[in-house]
Amino acid sequence: MTTLLTPAEQDECLKTTIQLALDNFSLASLVASLLREYAAAGLPSPQAKVLLRGQGRGVEIPGKNCGFFTTPIIQMAVLDCRRSLEFFGLSCEPKSNRLKEIASRRPDDLGIEHFGLPRVEREQFLQTVGRTASAPIEALLVDVHRWSNKQLAHFTVAQPSVTLDAIRDVSAAMIEAFLRLLFDALGRPRPRIQPSVN
C-alpha cells in the first residue's frame, strides 16, 4: 500500500526535487537549442565562462569551449528524464522500443501515487506530451532512456547516441508532463521555471 505524502511533504518535494528537475530540463532545452544552431551553421561550439558570485567569495571559471558547462547539464537532463518517467510509472521496453508501465516500485521510490494521483498510463502520457516534439516523442524518450543506460549508468563499449534535438524535445516534454500531470492534476499553481524557455 502506498503511503501518501503529507501536504508539507508534498510542498517540500515540489519545491526541491521536482523544481530542480524542471529547472534543469529548461536549461538543457536552451543549451541543446543553442548548440544545435551552432552545428547547423557550421560554427565551432561557443566558449563559456561561469561566474559564481554571492555574499561570500566568488569565482570565475573560464573555458576554451562550452563543454565543461553544457555536458553535465545535458547528462543530468538525460538522468532526470529516466527518473521522471519512473516517477510517472513508466519505463522503456527495450525489445519493442516503446514505453511500458512499470509493474512495481522499490520501497524507497517516490512516485506520482505518493501525491494521491494514479500512475500515468502510456497512452495518457504520450497524448499529454506528444505535441511538444518535432519528432515522434516515444522514439525520442526510448533513445534518451537507452543512452542513460549505456552511457551514464555505467561505462560501456557500446556507442548509442542521442541528438541535441532529442535533448531539447524530451526536456520540453518532461516539463509539460510535470505541469499537466502533476501540478494541474493536484490543482497546484504551476511553478516558475528558471531559466525560462519562452
pLDDT given for residue 28 in this prediction: 96
pLDDT given for residue 134 in this prediction: 75
Residue 44 domain-assigned (yes or no)? no
- Number of folded domains that form the chain: 1
19-70 pLDDT, tens digit each: 999 999 999 999 999 999 999 999 999 999 999 999 999 999 988 889 999 9
**Pick from 77, 100, 80, 57: nearest CA to 168:** 77
Q: How far is CA 196 from CA 40, 51, 183, in A?
A: 23, 19, 17
Tell me the pLDDT band of 161, cut-offs 50, 70 and 90.
confident
Residue 1 has pLDDT above 70, yes or no: no
Tell me the pLDDT band of 196, cut-offs 50, 70 and 90.
confident
Residue 106 domain-assigned (yes or no)? yes
pLDDT given for residue 13 in this prediction: 96
Residue 79 domain-assigned (yes or no)? yes
Tell me the pLDDT band of 197, cut-offs 50, 70 and 90.
low
Residue 8 domain-assigned (yes or no)? no
Q: Are 119 and 89 in contact (CB under 8 A)?
A: yes
Residue 23 domain-assigned (yes or no)? yes
pLDDT given for residue 198 in this prediction: 52
Q: Which residues have C-beta within 8 Å of that of residue 103, sequence separation ≥ 6?
A: none
Angle among Cα 32, 137, 126 to the nearest 5 degrees reads 135
Q: Are 150 and 160 in contact (CB under 8 A)?
A: yes
103-155 pLDDT, tens digit each: 888 989 999 999 999 999 999 999 999 888 778 899 999 989 888 877 777 77
Q: Using the CB atoms, write b or e for 135-146: b if 16+ within 10 Å.
A: eebbebbbbbbb
Tell me the pLDDT band of 176, cut-offs 50, 70 and 90.
very high
Residue 55 domain-assigned (yes or no)? no
> Can you give the pTM of this predicted structure?
0.91
Residue 37 domain-assigned (yes or no)? no
Domain residue limits at 23: 13-29+74-186
Task: Give me 108's grid cell.
Answer: 524507497
Q: Are 26 and 171 in contact (CB under 8 A)?
A: yes
Residue 64 domain-assigned (yes or no)? no
More confident residue, 13 or 154: 13
Q: How far is CA 47 from CA 18, 28, 40, 43, 116, in A?
A: 30, 17, 17, 12, 46
Distance CA 41, CA 20 (A): 32
